[in-house]
Structure 1
């Protein structure tokens, strides 16, 4: 394993390069976007779960208008808890060059959580189902999909880190959704991803909800001194800081 190294973003430790700190939840949702509960309800649930730090990372994009109100709600909640609360937004990579579907105003944010839900290929965004179809037709190989996915992820992280500190949401989860095992991601590709994370100072989220990345990939990232953090990806307050997959990892 790499030497221990805390990652501090926005005033609070969110991860480490030697282990998973299960008192941290690096990615939760609220009723502002993909979640179901108010910020205050999520904070109360996190307190009950014994967490010390929480990152709000609701999905945002070019049409998002609520970031200021979202950040204000988190800041008000800081007065009612001893936890470290951070304001982030989950944004998508939408082109092979790492172009991000950013909201118009990044000022309220402590971080960007970068996701690759669809595969950017030649001006298209292929859903996991479309990737599977191309695999079945022999138009692309599993190795090529892995290369395209890692390349888009690396470039997305590089771009995000120009604005605010970056996190990597549910890394490589698209592979599983397309019916691929992450064994198609070679050690060389993991090394490329790890180098990009270290260079960008990016935290890699290990997602409870998405079961991603695998323990194999987590170990390889840790060995490469990449900072990792538990992320529930919770859409309901009751899911915040509740670990099953993470404990196995």
Structure 2
């Protein structure tokens, strides 16, 4: 059900990674992978996208591993607007992440939100509602441009001190439905140990595809799965939707 010969999210030295495209491809070959998706983080000021994509294209000519040209983009608007680079040409995949909470007054870090919850200014349920709503709008927006993936699902909540167990069933269902409707694939992140089994089970039951993702920043992490294997084993025992 979850193809462990795939790594759906790796970072190169173009952004937060440590190694070149070619070094990561060599690691993927050594790990016996069949497919790797590059997902370096980009924003409006990113200037290295053309050489990044060219590096992946050159590497593809020298390997049998399927290399997907992707990026990770942060959702920054309450309407699901994202911090897009100026040119999306040449991309095969766009992963959506939420590192800061979009609110009418601006963007808040997880630590700031945790503080507001602790002092009673915000409710955890309101934060959950906002994260889920923005995520749904963001994947709908991105799906207009390229096949979409959701990186580190509900990671913002975890960093703000809100456990997945506190997320209402209705919110889980809303998130899964947004991904299903927009053809969004959900990444299972080894580095961040997300999503949890509850969301994975909901994805399986809701017909949303899951892809393993090391979120590697070093070559030695490519295709190395422990948490993902645990989640995959649990997912294999979850009945799929009819």
TM-score tier by shorter-chain length is: over 0.9
Measure how far apart 1:165 and its partner are. 1.0
Query: Any residues of structure 2 matched to 1:133-172 within 5 Å, and which?
Result: 133-172=115-154
Query: Any residues of structure 2 matched to 1:193-208 within 5 Å, and which?
Result: 193-208=175-190
Measure how far apart 1:129 and its partner are. 0.2
CA distance in structure 1 between the aligned counterparts of 2:118 and 2:2, rounded to whole angstroms: 37
CA distance in structure 1 between the aligned counterparts of 2:166 and 2:90, rounded to whole angstroms: 38
CA distance in structure 1 between the aligned counterparts of 2:4 and 2:120, rounded to whole angstroms: 42
The CA RMSD over aligned residues, in Å, is: 0.9
Tell me which residue corresponds to 1:213: 195
Measure how far apart 1:123 and its partner are. 3.0
TM, length-normalised to structure 2: 0.93
Query: Any residues of structure 2 matched to 1:165-180 within 5 Å, and which?
Result: 165-180=147-162
Could you say what secondary structure the match of 2:229 adopts? helix
CA distance in structure 2 between the aligned counterparts of 1:79 and 1:138, rounded to whole angstroms: 56
Moved over 2 A (4+): none
CA distance in structure 2 between the aligned counterparts of 1:247 and 1:167, rounded to whole angstroms: 20
Structure 2: state its 5+ residue gaps.
Answer: 232-242
CA distance in structure 1 between the aligned counterparts of 2:152 and 2:43, rounded to whole angstroms: 18
Tell me which residue corresponds to 2:62: 80
1:248 and 2:233 aligned: no
CA distance in structure 1 between the aligned counterparts of 2:126 and 2:53, rounded to whole angstroms: 39
TM, length-normalised to structure 1: 0.91
Query: Any residues of structure 2 matched to 1:117-132 within 5 Å, and which?
Result: 117-132=99-114
CA distance in structure 2 between the aligned counterparts of 1:161 and 1:178, rounded to whole angstroms: 27
CA contact (8 A) 1:92 1:114 kept: yes
Could you say what secondary structure the match of 2:125 adopts? helix
Tell me which residue corresponds to 1:115: 97
1:64 and 2:46 aligned: yes
CA contact (8 A) 1:232 1:243 kept: yes
1:184 and 2:200 aligned: no
